[in-house]
A and B are shown apart, each in its own frame.
Chain A
Amino acid sequence: MASETTTPTVLASARPARPALRYAGLLWAIGIALLLPLFTAESYRLFQLTLAAIYAIAILGLNLVTGYNGQISLGHGAFYAVGAYVAAIMMDKFGLPYWSTLPSAAVVCGLVGYGIGFPALRLGGLYLALTTFSLAVAVPQILKYKGIEEWTGGVQGVLVFKPDAPFGLPLSNDQYLYLLTVAIALGVFLLARNLMASRIGRAIMAIRDHGLAAEAMGMDAARLKTSTFAVSAGITGLAGALSAIAVEFVSPDSFQVALSITLFVGMVVGGVASIIGPAFGGLFVVFVPNLAEEVSKAAPGVIYGIILIAFLFVLPGGVAGLLRRLAARLHR
């Protein structure tokens, strides 16, 4: 009896020891890579990395709905904008603390996403693409609307200020913001990973793969799609709020249609339907345009386009696809 109960546990703990070690090593490496810029990067570089982490969160939101659920959104920039304005207005007009704006922006954007997704998702893929696109076109103009100028600051926008590090931590504003953003990003990525590994995640993918079969498996496709869209909008809205705090300024011109396309590009480059992909997507959309500018001041757009195409040629599955291939090779 005793041997029967102990043998399996010994086996269970002995066998995965090596992969677990490798896993721990990987976590350490990631941790160091994330903390290193705190000590080495100058403040502008740190700001760029903060922005990349913020974009990574926004792209993760988009990836849930477009990558995993197969619903094309060309307007996630609108949720980013709404999140940013929610944060800016709460801080500037109501004097509320910066941290309280983050969950608020997520909830507001989640509700807006639910309201838009509810009718649009019932019409199917291309209609959603157009509905979201029109949202991305409309939002910057709505933000300039005279009637709400008192809140939004019209074309002027709203100025906000970076928070100081709490508890007297010996960190500059930029260092603190970087740390805060990375911590939030890690949290959001972890939650998203849990979600996608659950029954809900399976349902989200099943609906993308075969809608009718998903319904035959008892999945309420219409409801799940709407909820996924709402969650996705909420995550992107949270990123928007962080961006308002990091950039210390919101204005309608920061959230043009191009922003939505940028998020879409980041998603594809990082890896469609991947959790880790958006992290690389965020780095790409922040640093590659700068790189293009350095290569050619005259035509950075051309260089950016060439880099983008070259990237997709070399990494058809995005960065996440490359990582998957590498992991498969290591496991063999």
Chain B
Amino acid sequence: MSGNVAALLEVRDIVIRFGGVTAVGGVSFDVGRHQICGLIGPNGAGKTSLFNCISGFYRPSEGQISLEGRRISDLPRHRMMGLGIGRTFQNLALFRSMTVRQNVLAGAHSQGKAGFLAAALRLPSSTREAAAAEDRARALLALLDLEQFAELPVAGLPFGWQKRVELARALISRPKLLLLDEPAGGLNHSEVDALAELFHDIRRNFELSILLVEHHMNLVMRVSDKVVALNFGKKIADGTPAEVRSTPEVISAYLGEQAHAA
């Protein structure tokens, strides 16, 4: 299968500077098809900057990022979802005045075509498209146990459930690559365990790759096929969880946290 040879996401020599500060100094790595890749590093390692570059929120100062061989690092960020990159946010970025169902449906925007006129006149093309999106939203709400909240305003849900809504919203457009920004942040132990299960379910059901930035070592090591470790804007390790865990630079970068990871 030649499809496995080319990586889904290729990150090449990315440099990100903010004024005089270099947040990321030349990082390269790949994410393969159907692979779960964890991006780790201590605070200030440049994980979030890199993540924001891949999701199109920052432009890299140097280097390039490609999805399926197509360069994406110079495209506007609203194009990413249409190309197959879905994301969640670290501190929740839901549409707070809308219901859970509306939030999930909003994620399907890039899959629709109907414009103002078609939508206002309810032309057949627009209602057909809307019905298809409704079906997918229903399936996702069921998959993520969100049905009982579907018609409630999203802002009133507990934090962990809001995170699930974000996940559903990112998944409805069937992305090829799902970017998760600290998915375990703010969750308790049992919720984190459930999350690990969920990621494997999602990969199986949606046939996608996942790139997650995460502080929670335990989760990253458990779910990832591959881990990329950053420190001070440089890559210090790249390999299986076991390989990365035993890399001296990673151990020294984490010091006390290493005990927690093991």
Query: Could you tell me which A residues sit within 8 Å of B by CB distance?
Result: 191-192, 194-195, 198-203, 205-206, 208-210, 212-221, 227, 231, 273
Contact A198 B126 (CB under 8 A): yes
Contact B120 A212 (CB under 8 A): no
Knowing A198-B126, A200-B115, A202-B105, the reply to whether A215 touches B78 (Cβ < 8 A) is: yes
Knowing A191-B121, A194-B121, A203-B109, the reply to whether A218 touches B95 (Cβ < 8 A) is: no
9 closest Cβ pairs, A-B complex: A218-B110, A218-B81, A198-B119, A213-B93, A209-B95, A191-B120, A195-B120, A199-B112, A215-B78
- Asked if B212 is at the interface of the complex by the 8 Å CB criterion, the answer is no
Residues of B with C-beta under 8 A to A216: 55, 57, 77-78, 80-81, 87, 89, 93
- Asked if B240 is at the interface of the complex by the 8 Å CB criterion, the answer is no
With a 10 A CB-CB cut-off, give which of B93, B109, B115 has the most chain A CB atoms.
Answer: B109
Question: Smallest distance from the beta carbon of B175 to chain A beta carbons, Å?
Answer: 10
State the CA gap A200–B119 with chains docked (Å): 7
Question: Which chain B residues numbered 60 to 119 have a C-beta less than 8 Å away from chain A?
Answer: 76-82, 87, 89, 93-98, 102, 105-110, 112, 114-116, 119
Question: In chain B, what residue has the closest Cβ to A202?
Answer: B106
Binding site secondary structure of chain A: helix
Knowing A210-B93, A210-B94, A218-B80, the reply to whether A199 touches B116 (Cβ < 8 A) is: no
Question: In chain A, what residue has the closest Cβ to B154?
Answer: A209
Contact A206 B106 (CB under 8 A): yes
With a 10 A CB-CB cut-off, give which of A200, A218, A220, A227 has the most chain B CB atoms.
Answer: A218
Residues of A with C-beta under 8 A to B169: 217
B95 CB contact (under 8 Å) in A192, A199, A200, A213:
A213
Contact A194 B119 (CB under 8 A): yes
A interface footprint on B130-159 (CB within 8 Å = 1, 0 otherwise) = 100100000000000000000000000000
Question: In chain B, what residue has the closest Cβ to A191?
Answer: B120
State the CA gap A285–B102 with chains docked (Å): 33
A-B contact pairs, 28 of them (CB 8 A): A191-B120, A194-B121, A195-B119, A198-B119, A198-B120, A198-B126, A199-B108, A199-B112, A199-B130, A199-B133, A203-B106, A205-B97, A205-B98, A206-B95, A208-B97, A210-B95, A210-B96, A212-B57, A213-B89, A215-B78, A216-B89, A216-B93, A217-B81, A217-B110, A218-B79, A220-B78, A221-B78, A227-B116
